[in-house]
């Protein structure tokens, strides 16, 4: 009798701790399960070398995914970020090819990224075009500009700074990991501790109520799209630095990776719920999945199919775990 | 359904209907009988049980006690489709027609005539719709999408659609609340045509004059009980209102003729509203607000006072006129600018003004987030300041909660309403607009909210209270502007008045 009582309160205590943290624990559990699975079925997954590799690959995706995390927190979507990353990468390479110094290249690239974000944000927030369509237009537009500017010819000149950021280490730590930590850490701080971050969550949680409470919601949406433009632009520059060559579509395929990672991490598509921490986990899940499947030596023809199935299962798992805890409480 | 055998049988007979919502008795042994081909008005104050009774009749509420007979046959509806099957159609304030479809398509919604291959017979459908509408005296091009037509025409098309699908009994819930005077006339013409064709109509409205114009007899509900059914012959408005509000035992409810003395202070004007007009909503609204005064804007549903409040705060636009705050012209700006000028707005709709999934402290500090920022780095939120302010507000407005970290959803409706007020008072604004501050809260919370608003006034704040509940207006106001159909029809200043008088003017 007494024992049961104690057990019950203990379970209740665990429940009380778990319940508000489900949104982060469910994807974390997915990550652990996935890592253990690949650790068992392959010899090389849980080796230091491979884990370092995962971290390095995840970092570039993480930089790209930071901006969309903010966009999704508002309940909006950005379909253009991967193409924007390619575009900014091409601009960087074109300028470097004409032997223009990095001190001029960076401001030009940042400016271009701000303009792209401003257009996305203004068209969405002030004109009222749904972000799905506005950023789909930007998706096409940024590819169009990149295609035109490069004439579809690869450019092999990359500023030394970004070649280093993409490939070299600072001691043991790859620069790209440091870049990701700085960008995600900064964004996490902004979201969690600043007035602007609070406005982002509140606007995403209930746009109407935020407006009635005197929040300039249009401005919040616009600024978030500008931040998304800048983080994807920076991701593009580091990404091209890493590849050493810029195509007009080098990073376009990252669109699916980025959105899949953010949502797998547990950030809600309807806004208001999620965080950078969720995106960190989501990015790790998605990268583990890619690398793990590579190591498993499955036929390359079937790999995408398996990845799709696991994505679907993981998404269902996230929802089921979150919902079951909510019902219990 | 042959018509001979039913000469003396009532179209609707409801006997001893009782309905409770979680322990609260919404209807208490109400009996309601309407004859075939009659137009019956149904009136009562907010919460008297009109909608509940009609929702039982239309099959929305299925859990009640009592008996119901339609044309002499006992029925118990399991859902709205049962009630439709019995020939009962309900027209809600929010129409259920589809705006992007044409008149003819709406008329045939769900019952489109098709040929053997399953293709819609457009010509046939248009012809039938045209004939049907013509027979009801509605003159409209059946190929026009509804979005091209006015609200009043859409409403008539919805009525026609319900008739077309075979309804004999039509319930109309506040049909005239969004109509102009001329449009109301058109609607009444349609109601008379329907009556001539033998349809039975129940007409629910806050507009007593409208009810008295169109009804054969009027049933009055009060506090979930049927008070009386009066034959509409030589009836006076005074009589109707009297039996509608009557004498109540509840200590917080005023008696109809209880005299309330209005007295406005002799202070300077803080806000002026001049000739404010928004076509279709309100016209030439002019008033001023003095320092330390509570100005009540009263009007029945749809009289325009609620949109005046939204226009002042910048949530809705206006076509002409101006608003001055301390002598300075306010531009038609968005709410975040109005907020910084010292105007606060407490919305009537908690769903659209609070964040139900977020913690209490996030809700409370949002309007004046600038106050919880660090002294040096004025873009970083100081958690301690935030908690302190929230705790102060919880105490000041006696919000019942486990603490600042509690999620808003865990609070009761009345306490949420207090949060809606408290969040605007973390600093002292110049003018506060209260939109329906007591709607949907229980008696105890109502008293506390009234007390809180009065305290603010005593501290010298200027308030505008907008409400369609005369109780709230009289409890709070120093001065009252009465709205009717988008216009200010009367100003009650330094005078004695009563609930009865207010209702009569509106």
Model confidence pLDDT, tens digit, residues B94-145: 888 898 999 999 999 888 888 888 898 999 999 999 999 999 988 889 999 9
Dist. CA A116–CA A123, nearest whole Å: 11
Chain B residues inside the 8 Å CB shell of A213: 335, 353, 366-367, 423
Q: How close does chain A come to B257, measured CA to CA in Å?
A: 38
> What is residue B254's DSSP assignment?
P
d(CA B221, CA B53): 10
Contact call for residues B370 and B385 (beta carbons, < 8 A): no
Q: For A300-326, how does the pLDDT look when each residue is reduced to its tens digit (9 = 90+)?
A: 888 889 888 988 988 888 778 777 765
Q: Are strands B225-231 and B487-492 parallel, antiparallel or unpaired?
A: unpaired
Of the candidate ranges A284-288, B418-422, B491-495, the one whose mean pLDDT is the lowest: B491-495
CB contact under 8 A, B381 and A198: yes
Distance from CA of B376 to the nearest CA of A (A): 13
**Are B165 and B111 contacting, i.e. CB atoms less than 8 angstroms apart?**
yes
CA distance A272 to B154: 37
Q: Pairing state of beta strands B294-298 and B479-484?
A: parallel
Residue B307: count other Cβ atoms within 10 Å of its Cβ. Answer: 22
Token duo for residue A184: 């995600």
Between A193, A195, A202, which is nearest B355 by CB? A202
Q: Report yes or no: B189 and B18 within 8 Å, Cβ to Cβ.
A: no
Element (H, E) at B287: strand B282-290
The mean of the pLDDT values for chain B is: 87
Please report whether residue A35 resides in a domain: no
A245 part of a folded domain: yes
pLDDT band at residue B235 using 50, 70 and 90 as cut-offs: confident
**Which residues does chain A have within 8 Å of residue B353's beta carbon, measured at their own beta carbons?**
208-209, 212-213
Q: Is residue A300 part of a domain?
A: no
Smallest Cα distance from B351 to chain A, Å: 8
Of the candidates A193, A196, A211, the beta carbon closest to that of B335 is on A211
Instruction: Determine, yes or no, domain membership for A326.
Output: no
B362 closest CB neighbour out of A193, A202, A208: A202
All residues of chain A having their beta carbon less than 8 Å from the beta carbon of residue B336 are 214-216
* From A195, A211, A272, residue closest to B379, measured CB to CB: A195
* Banded pLDDT at B349 (limits 50, 70, 90): confident
- Using alpha carbons, list the distances in angstroms from residue A30 to A326, B199, B374: 18, 63, 39
Q: Is the pTM of this model over 0.90?
A: no
Task: Classify residue B9 as exposed, middle or buried by CB count within 10 Å of its CB (0-12, 13-18, 19+).
Answer: middle
Per-residue confidence (pLDDT) for residue B254, from 0 to 100: 58
Highest mean pLDDT among A85-99, B171-185, B481-495: A85-99
Residues of chain B contacting A201 with CB distance shorter than 8 Å? 358, 362
pLDDT tens-place string over residues A288-299? 999 999 898 888
Cβ of A212 within 8 Å of Cβ of B353? The answer is yes
Angle, helices A217-243/A48-73, rounded to nearest 10 degrees:
150
Instruction: List chain B residues with CB under 8 Å of A208.
Output: 352-353
A187-201, B143-157, B266-280 — which one is most confidently predicted on average? Answer: A187-201
> Is residue A194 in some structural domain?
yes
Higher pLDDT, B362 or B253: B362
For B364, name the nearest residue in chain A, comparing CA atoms only.
Answer: A213
Confidence of residue B3 (pLDDT cuts 50, 70, 90): very low
Instruction: Tell if the CB–CB gap between A202 and B373 is shorter than 8 Å.
Output: no
B311–chain A Cβ distance below 8 A for any pair: no
Q: SS3 for B131? A: helix
**pLDDT, average across residues B153-166:** 91
Average pLDDT over residues A89-110: 94
Cα of B298 to nearest chain A Cα, Å: 22
Contact A198 B366 (CB under 8 A): yes
Pairing status of strand B487-492 against strand B12-21 = unpaired
Nearest to B353 among A199, A201, A209 (CB): A209
Range of the domain at A76: 58-273
Residue A26 CB-density burial (10 A; 0-12 exposed, 13-18 middle, 19+ buried): buried
**Would A216 be classed as within a structural domain?**
yes
For chain B, first and last CA: distance in Å? Answer: 43
What the block records as the tokens of A165 is 């950021």
Per-residue CA distances from A326 to A8, A18, B278, B280 (Å) = 18, 10, 46, 46
Could you give the angle at the alpha carbon of B206 between the alpha carbons of B348 and B468, nearest 5°?
30
Q: Kindly state the tokens that stand for B433.
A: 């607009």
B259 pLDDT higher than 80: no
Share of chain A above pLDDT 70, in %: 96
**Residue at A261 is within a domain:** yes
Cβ contacts of B408 within 8 Å, gap of 6 or more? B354, B355, B356, B357, B358, B359, B360, B363, B416, B419
Mean residue pLDDT across chain A: 91
Nearest residue in A to B342, CA atom:
A214
Say yes or no: B427 contacts chain A, CB-CB below 8 A: no
> Which domains, from first to last, does chain B contain?
4-245 (3.40.50.300), 261-342+431-440+463-506 (3.40.50.300), 344-428 (3.40.50.300)
- The per-residue pLDDT for range B49-106, each reduced to its tens digit, is 888 899 999 998 988 999 999 999 999 998 888 998 899 999 987 888 898 999 999 9
pLDDT computed for residue B443 by the predictor: 65
Contact B170, B226 (CB under 8 A): no
Residue B361 contacts residue B441 (beta carbons within 8 Å):
no
Q: What pLDDT is recorded for position B256?
A: 63
Find the mean pLDDT for residues A115-144.
97
Predicted confidence band of residue B180 (pLDDT cuts 50, 70, 90): confident
Res. A143: pLDDT tops 50: yes
> pLDDT at residue B172 above 80?
yes
| Per-residue pLDDT, B223 | 82
Distance CA A105, CA B198 (A): 82
The mean pLDDT of A252-273, rounded to a whole number, is: 91
pLDDT level of residue B2 (50, 70, 90 thresholds): very low
* Residue of B379, B410, B432, B434 to mutate, testing the A interface (most A Cβ within 10 Å of its Cβ): B379
Residue A327 has pLDDT above 60, yes or no: no
Mean pLDDT across the stretch A97-124? Answer: 95
Name chain A contacts of B334, Cβ cutoff 8 Å: 211, 216
Asked if A195 and B370 come within 8 Å (Cβ–Cβ), the reply is yes
Q: Give CA separation, B73 vs B17, B35, B83, in Å.
A: 16, 14, 13
Count of Cβ atoms closer than 10 Å to residue B49 Cβ: 24
Strands B217-222 and B39-43: parallel
**Nearest CB partner across the interface for A212, out of B352, B369, B373:** B352
Residue in A214, A215, A219, A322 to test binding to B, most B beta-carbons within 10 Å: A214
Nearest CA in chain B to A196: B379
Q: What is the pLDDT of residue B96?
A: 85
User: Which of 139-168 (A) contact B at CB < 8 A?
Assistant: none
Whole-number Å distance between alpha carbons of B312 and B323:
7
* Phi, psi angles (nearest 5°) of residue B34: -130, 135
Contact (CB<8Å) A194/B335: no
Rounded alpha-carbon distances, angstroms, from residue B426 to A108, A219, A246, A254, B395: 44, 24, 54, 46, 12
* Chains A–B, number of C-beta pairs less than 8 Å apart: 65
CA distance B401 to chain A (A): 18
Check CB contact under 8 Å for B358 and A196. Answer: no
Find residue B34's DSSP bridge partners.
B12
In chain B, residues 352-381 whose CB comes closer than 8 Å to chain A: 352-358, 362, 366-367, 369-370, 373, 379-381
At residue B110, what are phi and psi to the nearest 5 degrees?
A: 80, -10
Rounded percentage of chain B residues whose pLDDT exceeds 90: 42
Contact B358 A201 (CB under 8 A): yes
Structure confidence by residue, pLDDT tens digits, A10-29: 888 887 788 778 888 889 99
By three-state DSSP, how is residue B89 classified?
A: strand
**Is pLDDT of B247 > 70?**
no
**Domains identified in chain A, total number:** 1
Residues from chain B that touch A215, judged by Cβ atoms under 8 A, are 336, 366
Please tell me which residue, A2 or A27, carries the higher pLDDT value. Answer: A27
A205 touches chain B (CB under 8 A): yes
Burial class, A168, CB count within 10 angstroms (exposed 0-12 / middle 13-18 / buried 19+): exposed
Q: Residue length, chain A?
A: 329
Best mutation target among A209, A222, A268 (most B Cβ atoms within 10 Å) is A209
Contacts of A209 in chain B (CB under 8 A): 352-355
Q: Which two tokens stand for residue B144?
A: 């026009």
Q: Across the interface, which of A194, A196, A214 has its CB nearest the CB of B335?
A: A214
Verify whether the Cβ–Cβ distance A202 to B354 is below 8 Å: no
- CB within 8 Å: B380 and A194: yes
| Residue B228 β-bridge partners | B220
Closest CA to A183 of A52, A55, A64, A58: A64
By DSSP bridging, strand B496-497 and strand B260-261 are: antiparallel
Of B334, B353, B356, the CB nearest to A213: B353
Q: Which two tokens stand for residue B244?
A: 């509608």
pLDDT band with cut points at 50, 70 and 90 for residue B7: low
Chain-chain contact of B335 with A212 (C-beta, under 8 angstroms): yes
CA distance B105 to chain A (A): 29
Q: Which residues in A lie closer than 8 A to residue B345 (C-beta atoms)?
A: 212
Residue B290, min C-alpha distance to chain A (Å): 24
What are the angstrom distances between the C-alpha of B386 and each of A180, B339, B372, B375, B381? 31, 19, 6, 13, 8
The closest of B268, B271, B397 to B343, measured between CA atoms, is B271
Closest listed residue to residue A233, CA positions, set A152, A156, A142, A163 = A142
A210: contact with B, CB 8 A cutoff:
yes
Domain presence at residue A53: no
- What contacts B402, CB < 8 A, 6 or more positions away? B410
Q: What angle do CA A295, A301, A302 make, to 5 degrees?
A: 70
Looking only at the bridges linking them, the beta strands covering B328-330 and B487-492 are unpaired
CB distance from B65 to chain A under 8 Å? no
């Amino acid at each position: 009798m007494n024992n049961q009582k104690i057990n019950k309160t203990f379970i209740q205590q665990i429940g009380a701790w778990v319940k508000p943290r489900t949104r982060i624990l469910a994807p974390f559990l997915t990550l652990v399960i996935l890592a253990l699975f690949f650790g068992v079925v392959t010899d090389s997954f849980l080796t230091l070398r491979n884990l370092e590799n995962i971290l390095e690959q995840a970092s570039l995706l993480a930089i790209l995914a930071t901006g969309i995390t903010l966009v999704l927190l508002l309940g909006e979507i950005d379909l253009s970020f991967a193409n924007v990353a390619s575009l900014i990468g091409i601009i960087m390479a074109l300028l470097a090819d004409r032997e223009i110094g990095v001190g001029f290249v960076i401001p030009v690239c940042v400016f271009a990224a701000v303009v792209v974000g401003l257009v996305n944000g203004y068209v969405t927030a002030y004109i009222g075009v749904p972000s799905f369509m506005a950023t789909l237009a930007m998706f096409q537009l940024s590819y169009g500009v990149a295609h035109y500017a490069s004439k579809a010819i690869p450019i092999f000149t990359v500023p030394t700074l970004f070649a280093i950021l993409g490939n070299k280490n600072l001691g043991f730590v790859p620069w790209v990991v440091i870049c990701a930590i700085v960008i995600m850490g900064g964004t996490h701080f902004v979201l969690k501790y600043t007035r602007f971050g609070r406005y982002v969550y509140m606007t995403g949680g209930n746009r109407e109520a935020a407006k009635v409470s005197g929040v300039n919601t249009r401005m919040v949406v616009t600024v978030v799209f500008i931040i998304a433009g800048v983080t994807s632009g920076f991701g593009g520059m580091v990404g091209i630095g890493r590849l050493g060559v810029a195509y007009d579509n080098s990073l376009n395929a990252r669109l699916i990776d980025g959105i899949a990672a953010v949502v797998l991490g547990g950030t809600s598509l309807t806004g208001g719920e999620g965080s950078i921490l969720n995106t960190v986990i989501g990015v790790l899940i998605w990268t583990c999945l890619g690398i793990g499947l590579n190591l498993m030596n499955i036929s390359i023809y079937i790999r995408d199919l398996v990845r799709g199935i696991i994505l679907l299962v993981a998404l269902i798992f996230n929802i089921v775990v979150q919902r079951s805890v909510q019902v219990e409480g | 359904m042959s018509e001979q055998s039913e000469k003396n049988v009532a179209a609707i007979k409801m006997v001893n209907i009782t309905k409770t919502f979680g322990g609260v008795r919404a209807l208490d042994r109400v009996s309601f009988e309407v004859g075939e081909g009659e137009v019956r008005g149904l009136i009562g104050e907010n919460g008297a049980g009109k909608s509940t009774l009609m929702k039982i009749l239309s099959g929305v509420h299925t859990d009640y006690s009592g008996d119901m007979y339609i044309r002499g046959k006992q029925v118990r509806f399991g859902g709205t489709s049962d009630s439709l099957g019995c020939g009962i159609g309900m027209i809600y304030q929010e129409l259920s027609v589809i705006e992007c479809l044409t008149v003819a398509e709406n008329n045939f919604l769900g019952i489109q005539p098709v040929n053997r291959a399953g293709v819609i017979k457009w010509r046939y459908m248009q012809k039938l719709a045209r004939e049907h509408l013509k027979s009801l005296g509605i003159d409209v091009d059946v190929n026009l999408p509804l979005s091209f037509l006015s609200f009043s025409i859409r409403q008539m098309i919805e009525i026609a659609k319900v008739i077309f699908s075979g309804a004999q009994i039509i319930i109309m819930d506040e049909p005239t609340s969004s109509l102009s005077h001329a449009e109301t006339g058109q609607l009444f013409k349609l109601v008379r045509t329907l009556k001539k064709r033998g349809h039975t109509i129940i007409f629910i409205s806050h507009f007593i004059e409208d009810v008295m114009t169109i009804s054969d007899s009027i049933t009055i509900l009060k506090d979930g009980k049927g008070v009386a059914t009066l034959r509409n012959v030589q009836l006076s408005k005074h009589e109707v209102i009297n039996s509608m509000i009557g004498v109540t035992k509840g200590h917080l409810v005023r008696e109809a003729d209880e005299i309330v003395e209005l007295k406005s202070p002799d202070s300077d004007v803080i806000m002026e509203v001049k000739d404010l007009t928004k076509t279709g909503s309100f016209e030439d609204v002019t008033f001023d607000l003095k320092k330390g005064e509570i100005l009540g804007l009263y009007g029945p549903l749809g009289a325009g006072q609620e949109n005046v409040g939204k226009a002042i705060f910048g949530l809705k636009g206006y076509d002409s006129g101006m608003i001055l705050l301390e002598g300075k012209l306010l531009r038609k700006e968005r709410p975040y600018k109005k907020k910084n000028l010292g105007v606060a707005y407490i919305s009537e709709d908690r769903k659209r003004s609070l964040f139900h999934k977020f913690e209490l402290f996030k809700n409370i500090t949002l309007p004046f987030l600038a106050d919880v920022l660090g002294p040096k780095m004025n873009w970083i939120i100081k958690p301690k300041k935030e908690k302190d302010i929230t705790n102060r507000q919880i105490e000041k407005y006696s919000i019942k909660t486990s603490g600042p970290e509690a999620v808003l959803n865990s609070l009761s409706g009345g306490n949420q309403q207090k949060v809606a007020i408290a969040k605007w008072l973390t600093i002292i604004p110049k003018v506060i607009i209260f939109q329906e501050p007591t709607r949907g809260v229980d008696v105890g919370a109502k008293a506390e909210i009234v007390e809180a608003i009065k305290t603010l006034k005593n501290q010298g704040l200027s308030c505008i209270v907008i409400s369609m509940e005369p109780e709230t207006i009289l409890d709070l106001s120093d001065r009252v502007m009465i709205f009717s159909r988008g216009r200010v029809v009367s100003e009650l200043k330094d005078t004695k008045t009563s609930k009865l008088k207010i209702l009569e003017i509106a």
